[in-house]
C-alpha cells in the first residue's frame, strides 16, 4: 500500500506547480510531507542526508563556474565582438544573418553551456540587425530560439552536469556522446536557413554590397582577434574534458578564469562587469542547486517508499516491448518539458527512468543523449516553449507569438530527425565516447 502511496507524489507535485509554488520548494515540501507520513521521524535524518550529499557533490561545483563563464562572456562584450566577426563572413550568404546567429549559438553553447543566456545574448545582438534588413519575423524568431537551444545539446551543458550524477553516468562520456548529435543539429539548422533563404529570398534579403567596404586583411584581423581567443577558451573547457586531462569541475574553473583573462585582454574588465557577473552567477546557481536539492529529496523519498519498484512492475505488466517502454519514457519527458525547466525534468524523471533503462538492457549513454535531444525539442515546442518566453522578453511588439510559433516548427522537425537518427543509429552517440574511452568522473 505504501508503494502505491508514493505514486501520489507526482500528482501532488503537479498540483503545487500549477498552484504557482516554485518547483524547488514544491519538491522539498512534497518530499517532507510524504516522508513523514511513510517513515515518521526517521524522514528528517534521510532528508538531511540528501542535503549533505548535494552540498558535497564535487561535480556540481562546475555549475556556478560555467554560469560565471557565460555571464563574463555576455557582460564584457566578448559575445558582441564574436558576433560581429562571424557576421562579416556570413552576411553575403543566403540568410547570412541567420547563419551567423546559428554559428554564434554553437560557439557560445560550446563555451558557456547556459541555455537562457545564449538565447538572450544572440537575440539582443541579432534581432535589431535582422529587422533592419527586413527578415521574415517567423524565420528570425525560429532562428534565435534554435540557436539559443543549442546550449542543451552542445557540451559543456549545465543540464548534463546535473544529469550525470543523477543518472550515475560519466559527465565526460555524456559530453563526448552529445558532441556529434549537437553539431549535427546545428548543421541541419544551417542547411534549412540557407535553403529557405535561397528559394524564398524575400524571407531573408541579402545585405547590399555597398554596405561593406571592409578589406580582406581587415576581415582576417577582426576574425583572429575575436575568434582565436574564444576557440582557445572552448578548447580549455571542452578539449581538456574530452581528452581526459581535466574533470568537468577543473575545466569549468579554467574556463571561468579564462573568461576573466579574455575580458582583461579586451580591456573590458571593470568592477561593474565583475560585480554584475558575480550577482548573476549567485542568483542562477542558487536557483539551480536548490532545485537539485529538492529533486534529490523527492527522489530519495520516492525510492525509499518503494515507488520505483511499483513503477517497474506497472510498466512490465502492460506487456509493452522494451522499445515501446523507452518511447513512453521519452514522451513523458517531452510533455514534462512543456511545463518544467530542464533541470527539474532531469531530477524528476531520470531517477525513475534509469533503473528501467538498465533493466531493459539499453545503453546508458545512448539513452541520456536521446533524452537530452528530447528535452531540447520540448524547449522549442509551443505552446509552452521556454525558448519562446525568453524570446518574447527581448523582441519588439511587432514580433508576435504567431510569428514565433510558426518560426520554430522547421527547427523542431530538424531536432526530431536528429532524435530519430540517434535512436536508429546508436553509434552517432556512442562512437566518440568509445573512441575516447570516456573518462569516468
Q: State the cell numbers at 291.
A: 532545485
Rounded CA-CA distance 275/269 in Å is 10
Query: What residues contact residue 143 under an 8 Å CB cut-off, 6+ apart?
Result: 98, 101, 102, 126, 130, 189, 193, 407, 411
- pLDDT tens digits, 416-428: 999 999 999 999 9
- pLDDT tens digits, 3-47: 567 778 888 888 887 787 887 888 889 989 988 888 888 888 878
Going from N- to C-terminal start, the domains of the chain cover 2-435
Q: State the cell numbers at 332.
A: 513523458
- pLDDT tens digits, 205-251: 876 654 456 677 777 887 787 778 888 888 888 888 777 788 888 88
Query: What residues contact residue 198 under an 8 Å CB cut-off, 6+ apart?
Result: 94, 95
Rounded CA-CA distance 369/177 in Å is 7
pLDDT at site 95: 85
Q: State the cell numbers at 31.
A: 518530499
Rounded CA-CA distance 261/274 in Å is 12
The percent of the chain in helix, strand and coil, each rounded to the nearest 5, is 80, 0, 20
Rounded CA-CA distance 139/410 in Å is 9
Contact by Cβ (8 Å): 342, 379: yes
Mean confidence (pLDDT) of the chain: 83
Instruction: Produce one character per residue of 262-288: b if its CB has 16 or more CB atoms within 10 Å, e if not.
Output: bbeeeebbeeebbebbeebbeebbeeb
Give pTM, 2 decimals: 0.81
What is the share, in percent, of the chain residues with pLDDT greater than 70? 94
Residue 201 has pLDDT above 90, yes or no: no
- pLDDT tens digits, 55-91: 777 778 888 888 888 788 777 777 777 877 887 888 7
Amino acid at each position: 500500500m505504501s508503494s502505491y502511496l508514493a505514486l501520489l507524489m507526482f500528482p501532488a507535485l503537479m498540483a503545487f506547480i500549477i498552484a504557482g509554488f516554485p518547483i524547488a520548494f514544491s519538491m522539498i515540501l512534497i518530499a517532507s510531507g510524504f516522508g513523514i507520513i511513510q517513515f515518521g521521524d526517521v524522514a528528517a535524518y534521510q532528508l538531511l542526508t540528501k542535503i549533505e550529499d548535494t552540498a558535497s557533490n564535487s561535480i556540481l561545483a562546475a555549475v556556478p563556474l560555467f554560469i560565471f563563464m557565460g555571464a563574463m562572456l555576455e557582460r564584457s562584450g566578448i559575445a558582441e565582438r564574436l558576433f560581429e566577426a562571424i557576421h562579416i563572413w556570413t552576411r553575403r550568404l543566403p540568410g547570412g544573418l541567420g547563419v551567423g546567429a546559428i554559428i554564434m549559438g554553437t560557439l557560445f553553447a560550446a563555451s558557456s553551456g547556459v541555455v537562457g543566456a545564449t538565447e538572450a545574448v544572440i537575440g539582443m545582438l541579432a534581432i535589431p540587425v535582422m529587422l533592419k534588413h527586413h527578415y521574415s519575423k517567423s524565420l528570425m524568431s525560429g532562428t534565435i530560439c534554435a540557436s539559443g537551444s543549442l546550449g542543451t545539446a552542445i557540451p559543456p551543458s549545465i543540464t548534463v552536469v546535473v544529469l550525470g550524477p543523477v543518472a550515475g553516468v560519466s559527465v565526460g562520456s555524456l559530453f563526448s556522446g552529445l558532441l556529434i548529435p549537437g553539431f549535427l543539429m546545428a548543421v541541419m539548422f544551417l542547411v534549412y536557413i540557407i535553403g529557405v533563404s535561397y528559394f524564398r529570398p524575400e524571407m531573408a534579403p541579402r545585405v547590399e554590397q555597398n554596405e561593406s567596404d571592409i578589406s580582406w586583411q581587415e576581415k582576417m584581423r577582426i576574425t583572429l582577434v575575436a575568434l582565436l581567443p574564444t576557440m582557445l577558451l572552448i578548447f580549455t573547457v571542452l578539449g581538456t574534458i574530452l581528452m581526459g586531462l581535466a574533470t568537468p569541475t577543473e575545466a569549468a574553473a579554467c574556463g571561468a578564469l579564462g573568461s576573466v583573462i579574455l575580458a582583461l585582454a579586451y580591456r573590458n574588465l571593470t568592477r561593474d562587469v565583475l560585480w554584475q557577473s558575480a550577482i548573476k552567477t549567485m542568483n542562477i546557481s542558487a536557483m539551480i542547486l536548490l532545485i537539485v536539492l529538492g529533486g534529490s529529496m523527492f527522489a530519495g523519498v520516492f525510492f525509499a517508499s518503494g515507488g520505483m519498484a511499483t513503477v517497474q512492475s506497472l510498466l512490465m505488466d502492460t506487456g509493452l516491448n522494451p522499445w515501446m517502454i523507452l518511447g513512453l519514457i521519452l514522451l513523458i519527458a517531452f510533455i514534462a518539458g512543456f511545463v518544467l525547466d530542464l533541470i527539474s525534468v532531469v531530477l524528476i524523471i531520470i531517477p525513475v527512468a534509469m533503473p528501467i533503462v538498465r533493466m531493459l538492457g539499453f545503453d546508458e549513454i545512448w539513452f541520456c543523449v536521446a533524452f537530452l535531444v528530447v528535452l531540447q525539442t520540448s524547449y522549442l515546442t509551443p505552446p509552452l516553449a521556454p525558448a519562446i518566453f525568453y524570446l518574447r522578453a527581448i523582441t519588439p511588439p511587432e514580433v508576435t507569438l504567431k510569428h514565433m510559433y510558426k518560426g520554430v516548427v522547421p527547427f523542431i522537425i530538424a531536432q526530431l530527425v536528429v532524435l530519430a537518427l540517434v535512436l536508429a543509429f546508436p553509434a552517432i552517440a556512442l562512437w566518440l565516447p568509445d573512441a575516447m574511452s570516456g573518462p569516468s568522473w
